[in-house]
Structure 1
Amino acid sequence: MNKIRIIALLLLTCTNVFAQQTFQTQLDSVFTVMYNQKQFNGSVLVAEKGKILLAKGYGFRDTLSRYQTNKNTIYELASCSKQFTAAAIVLLHRQGLLQYDDPLDKYIPELKQWHDVTIYDLLRHTSGLPEYIGDMAKGWDHQKIATNKDLITFYADRKDTLSFKPGSIHRYNNTNYALLASIIERISGKTYADYLKENIFMPLKMKSTFVYNRRLNPKRIKNYATGYVWRRQSFDKITSENPNYADSVVYYLDGIVGSAKVNSTILDLYKWVNALKSNTFFSPSEFELMTEVTKTSKGKNIPYGFGFDLSGGNSNLSFGHTGSWDGYATFIYHTVNKDRTIITLQNFKMGAYPFRTINQILDNRKMEIEYPKKITLPAPQIAQFAGTYLSTDDGEEQLITYLDGHLVHNTNRIKWDMRFFPIAQNEFQGIRQGGADGVIRFTQLPNQEVKLEMLEYGKVIGTAFRKSNNKGLE
């Protein structure tokens, strides 16, 4: 190799290293701002073309020890667990132990009323089955933790009919994947947890990945992140079933697996994505089937594969999933043509994932503000907007209160407990689950009346006028 080629190679290497460092700095800055604005608490991994650009934790994994999160912190994956349930089904199909067009009651005869539902329908969410989360909220003893066996008995006794003909409509449903987990157990003769461990996690050396029901079978796990929500009218973090939040669903449904309950780290999940994209775990034909954009019997696209949300179509594929359960907010996404992986795991229900911003940084595009920065305003200047506002369309009362430099939104019908921080003198950005955009804008009218406008992605979705002031700062 001559001197010119050596110099060129060194310059290219230095350029790549500098670019990676620049990306890391920019990405780190975004997540630092979000953490400081109470919009992110957890671990993040961003990688491109086989290079990890950022792998870091922000915030704390529990409120007692105050240990910080890091790249090895373990989180409940919530609905991101579904891809592993689907993967187990593909492995059983590979072994010839099931067919995708097999009827549900071939493996769960107790549910013979749903004979027309196939495994394929369960995987793609085209079954028409009822949603167990809503049904068991009304028909299950909230003092008892339900398991998959209980779920099957629950519906066998009820004999619910299907809400639509299988295959005709795509409708996301957690019951589908809970029943897939039971099928895995009945065919394999192993628990769902053991089957995934032996056939997926161990072969891929995902040593920090496992199925865990933290209330049904609590354990002490090193570097484990506890899922949190905000105490009502406070920024204190508590668990969902705490009386000051009172969401008992996470307790009595803790024993149901398949739709959730896989726990992992950002580094283990990166191993998983690498195995998927390189076809080292599934064959190309298997993975193509898992990520194929299919159609309903009515001809509409199904943007869901085997445990994956799909976008971009078959020729420009991106696959991944989001999750929210028990105080956790998760996001796993891979863009094939850019070989780009983004993973965020959070132990905070209201956590956001700046997907658009990350892509703008890595594509060297002009930055658009996805999550505006908080500005500093004196407390009285924020609190002046507190009060009761009457909606112009339906007469609903919008209740605005002040809390520690934020405004909190509720109504007389629903306790949203949604917090907003100032981004302008009269505008406040919402801290919403998944980072969904929401803004409250106040306008002082000539007659001294104050108008409130609720905006989503720049569009006004509601207007109200103040009928009474608050008492000011408490």
Structure 2
Amino acid sequence: MNFKKLVVTTLLFLTTSICFGQKNNTIKRLDSLFTSLSEQNQFSGSVLIAEKGKIIYKDGKGYSNEKTKERNNSKTIFELASCSKQFIGVAIALLHRDGKIKYTDDITVYIPELSNFKGVKIYDLLRHTSGIPEFLGKFREDWLLNKKMATNQDVINYYAQSKDTLEFKPTSTHQYCNTNYVLLATIIERISNQKLQDFLFKKILKPLKMERTFIYNRRENPKKKLKNYAFGYTWVKNSFEKATEDDPKIGNMTAYYLDGIIGNAKINSTVEDIYKWINAIKNNTLLSQKEFNEVMEITKTTDNQDVTYGFGFEVRKNKNSISYGHTGSWDSYCTFIHYNSANDRTIIVLNNFRNGVYPYEKINEIIDNKPNTKEFIKKVNVDESEIKNYVGDYVDQKNSSEKHIITYLNGYLIYNTDKENWDMRFFPTSSSTFQAVRQGGTDGVMTFTKLSDGTMKLEMTQYGQVIGKGIRN
């Protein structure tokens, strides 16, 4: 064989082997991450990660149904929570394309009942600069007394009858508000003369072949049972049993009675369908480049503050790249969708557990082959008797009238105070440090130190900052 050809062939073989080895290592590290998170009750759901048009990793962990013990997988259907808003934003852009709407239209053109909100434009709803009150505030409190399911029209009627005023002048402030997207959903239905589901199916879901994506209100339609559907779960107090929020063991009926409200949430999908969606957005399959730029534009308030929120997308830009996506939290679902053009990377994490996390930084760290950090520390095995040694009441060092109450449950320490039932769970990361299982991955650590006088000291930190101390005699 020609020597040069031999060298080239050898180099190609070595390069291919190295690339394959790195890819295999990345997959192993990602799987190890989500397996560990699942084992320590920080993840239950499905994940899909892709780069440069190729799926790097997709899998499911935990149960989609705690009763039947069906497991999550890449085709499992999840409530998207606030990640639903991007579909509403793009639907408005499609109506604009068809000449059915102008972004500068006053919302009273389409919802005349809300004459008290005159002056709010479609743009203000899209970008959360409207000043309209949050329906998850006073409306929710008042509505739950009715003990019946609310709809978008109920929200509109409430504000029309109460004559609530705007909280600030439109465009002067950016303030995230779910009501904005409830009203946008209603506008879509009134302009198109179709139900929102039918409009989305015709204009978005069918063209993109998103066959497992739709609006679903399981309490409103109890007879409609979905296969491979993930129920949203939370922990029963003082237990590791999981139940839905409306289960009598939990007793939170908020999501139950607001289940008929759409636009701010209620779109259900899978990680595989969401990947189709992200590809369609970034490749201009659904929107032209001009429309994409409008949807992702970063604007300013009248007091010159950046509004880094597009049409249902949180947006970040620099000179050469753009990233966009959203997070969601509702009815014990915890969701995350993100795309970054700098590395052409898509990360989709859908949880059906209230305390689930979406470890964005850790995922990027693994793909970029960076050293491990301490963002998500693995649970270590510590003898039960040693963990129980920290149980007791710790008198707060700043306020002696308040106590930190530490109890034990199945290898975890449970944190409460005598003033508030927090029911926070901490797992051991060493013989004296315990990491919090917190919704969205909020960092919290308890550290115990035995002092020279025999007392035990508790120190609580959040992101490295001390937020509480206590002494147990």
TM-score (norm 1): 0.95
Match of 2:278 in 1: 273
Task: State the 1:188 CA deviation.
Answer: 0.6
Bigger CA drift: 457-466 or 327-336? 457-466
SS at match of 2:441: coil
Structure 1: which amino acid aligns with 2:103? Y
Q: In the alignment, which of 166, 173, 178 is matched to residue 174 of structure 1?
A: 178
SS at match of 2:55: strand
Residues 330 and 446 (structure 1 numbering): CA distance in 2 closer, same or farther, change over 3 Å?
Answer: same
CA contact (8 A) 1:293 1:313 kept: no
CA contact (8 A) 1:397 1:411 kept: yes
Match of 1:451 in 2: 457
Structure 1: which amino acid aligns with 2:238? Q
Q: Using the alignment, how far apart are the partners of 1:142 and 1:18 within structure 2?
A: 60
CA contact (8 A) 1:142 1:249 kept: no
CA contact (8 A) 2:26 2:369 kept: no
Unaligned runs of 5+ in 2: none
Does 1:348 pair with 2:357?
no
Aligned-pair identity in percent equals 49
Bigger CA drift: 288-297 or 390-399? 390-399
Match of 1:243 in 2: 248
Task: State the 1:397 CA deviation.
Answer: 2.7
Aligned length: 466
Deviations 1:2-34 (A, max 9, x none): 956676656554444333222111111111111
Task: State the 1:392 CA deviation.
Answer: 3.1
Does 1:380 pair with 2:382?
no
Residues 7 and 384 (structure 1 numbering): CA distance in 2 closer, same or farther, change over 3 Å?
Answer: closer
Does 1:440 pair with 2:443?
no
Q: Using the alignment, how far apart are the partners of 1:245 and 1:296 within structure 2?
A: 41
Bigger CA drift: 109-118 or 2-11? 2-11
Match of 2:407 in 1: 401
Q: Using the alignment, how far apart are the partners of 1:20 and 1:238 within structure 2?
A: 38
Task: State the 1:231 CA deviation.
Answer: 0.6
Match of 2:315 in 1: 310
Q: In the alignment, which of 363, 367, 370 is matched to residue 365 of structure 1?
A: 370
Match of 2:189 in 1: 185
Match of 1:128 in 2: 131
Match of 1:160 in 2: 164
Structure 1: which amino acid aligns with 2:256? Y
Residues 15 and 424 (structure 1 numbering): CA distance in 2 closer, same or farther, change over 3 Å?
Answer: closer
Deviations 1:327-348 (A, max 9, x none): 2111101111100011011111
Match of 1:418 in 2: 424
Q: In the alignment, which of 46, 50, 60 is matched to residue 49 of structure 2?
A: 46
Deviations 1:124-145 (A, max 9, x none): 1111111111223321135200
Structure 1: which amino acid aligns with 2:368? D
Q: Using the alignment, how far apart are the partners of 1:448 and 1:52 within structure 2?
A: 55
CA contact (8 A) 2:320 2:342 kept: no
Match of 2:153 in 1: 149
Match of 1:24 in 2: 27
Match of 1:213 in 2: 217
Unaligned runs of 5+ in 1: 468-474
Structure 1: which amino acid aligns with 2:285? T
Task: State the 1:314 CA deviation.
Answer: 6.3
Deviations 1:250-270 (A, max 9, x none): 100000000000000001000
Q: Using the alignment, how far apart are the partners of 2:470 and 2:137 within structure 1?
A: 32
Q: In the alignment, which of 65, 76, 79 is matched to residue 76 of structure 1?
A: 79
Q: In the alignment, which of 58, 61, 81 is matched to residue 58 of structure 1?
A: 61
CA contact (8 A) 2:60 2:74 kept: yes
Residues 413 and 117 (structure 1 numbering): CA distance in 2 closer, same or farther, change over 3 Å?
Answer: farther
Q: Using the alignment, how far apart are the partners of 2:393 and 2:109 within structure 1?
A: 57
Q: Using the alignment, how far apart are the partners of 1:455 and 1:263 within structure 2?
A: 36
Q: Using the alignment, how far apart are the partners of 2:23 and 2:381 within structure 1?
A: 33
SS at match of 1:35: helix
Match of 2:141 in 1: 138
Deviations 1:178-221 (A, max 9, x none): 11101111111011111111111111000000010110113111
Residues 72 and 345 (structure 1 numbering): CA distance in 2 closer, same or farther, change over 3 Å?
Answer: same
Deviations 1:58-98 (A, max 9, x none): 11110111111111111100010010011111111111111
SS at match of 2:70: coil
Match of 1:472 in 2: none
SS at match of 1:454: strand
Q: Using the alignment, how far apart are the partners of 2:295 and 2:15 within structure 1?
A: 38
Q: Using the alignment, how far apart are the partners of 1:32 and 1:240 within structure 2?
A: 25
Q: In the alignment, which of 257, 263, 267 is matched to residue 258 of structure 1?
A: 263
Q: Using the alignment, how far apart are the partners of 2:120 and 2:319 within structure 1?
A: 26
CA contact (8 A) 1:44 1:345 kept: yes
Bigger CA drift: 257-266 or 136-145? 136-145
Bigger CA drift: 253-262 or 115-124? 115-124
Structure 2: which amino acid aligns with 1:371? F
Q: Using the alignment, how far apart are the partners of 1:453 and 1:374 within structure 2?
A: 19
Task: State the 1:358 CA deviation.
Answer: 0.8
TM-score (norm 2): 0.95
Q: Using the alignment, how far apart are the partners of 1:243 and 1:414 within structure 2?
A: 21
Q: Using the alignment, how far apart are the partners of 2:422 and 2:26 within structure 1?
A: 37
Match of 1:328 in 2: 333
Task: State the 1:380 CA deviation.
Answer: 2.1
Structure 2: which amino acid aligns with 1:406? Y
Q: Using the alignment, how far apart are the partners of 1:313 and 1:449 within structure 2?
A: 53
Q: Using the alignment, how far apart are the partners of 1:209 and 1:230 within structure 2?
A: 27
Task: State the 1:444 CA deviation.
Answer: 2.0
Q: Using the alignment, how far apart are the partners of 2:420 and 2:318 within structure 1?
A: 38
